[in-house]
Amino acid sequence: MAKLNWIKKQQGQLLIEAMVAVSLMLVGLLGIFGVLSRSLGLSRVAADQFVAVNLASEGIEIAKNILDKNFLAVGASWNAGFFDGEEYYVDYRSEGLGDCTTDELYFTGQGFYECNPVGNTKSKFKRVLEVAIKADGNMVAVKSTVNWTARGGLNSDVTVEDHFYNWRKP
């Protein structure tokens, strides 16, 4: 009789012990899951950054292209169309600064990022070119910033800056 009572007392505790152990384990596993999903999310952020850096450097190249075209154009100043403190939107089809009316970049069916919204799907990237004129008009500083909102609502941006000089004399 005494022996039976002893077993009866212990049974409840055993179950509780097991439950505590299992829940502790669950907490640990949940932690691992959290780290995992965070690392997956971060790798997607890194992928977005790759895209943004390329788009930002594209902005610089477009500005360089316009400057070189200015140099070749007869009678135009080398930095025609570049004004100090202005912000411009461009895409790869732009002939001059400010050919785009929006900073949003749209993804076309052909697979390019451009600023034309018609028939294209909006991408998460936005690009702004900031122009500063320095050194008595002999230097143009172009700052190309791409910003985007990641899936978690986190705002990120990438800025690339380049300086162009009036070294080419006709």
Partner 1 sequence: MRQPFKNNQGFTLMELLVAMTVFLLVVGLSSGVFLQTLRSQRTITNISESMNNVTITLEQIAREMRTGFDFENPSSDRIGFRDGYGNYVAYALVSLGENGSGPHAIGRCSEEICGTEDDFKPVTSSNVEIDGLRFVLKNGRVPLITVAAEVSIDSKRDEKEASITLQTSVSSRIIDKNG
Give the footprint of partner 1 on this chain (CB under 8 A): 3, 18, 22, 25-26, 29, 32-33, 36-37, 39-40, 43-44, 46-47, 50-51, 54-55, 57-58, 61-62, 64-65, 68-69, 71-72, 92-93, 107, 110-113
CB of 98 to partner 1, least distance (A): 17
Cβ atoms within 10 Å, residue 2: 5
CB of 86 to partner 1, least distance (A): 20
Q: Which is nearer to partner 1, 72 or 136 (CB)?
A: 72
Structure tokens at 123: 């991408």
Residue ranges of E strands in the chain: 87-88, 104-107, 113-114, 121-134, 139-149, 155-165
CB of 155 to partner 1, least distance (A): 19
Q: Which is nearer to partner 1, 41 or 141 (CB)?
A: 41
Compute the distance between CA of residue 114 and CA of residue 105 in angstroms, rounded to an integer.
5
Compute the distance between CA of residue 124 and CA of residue 170 in angstroms, rounded to an integer.
42
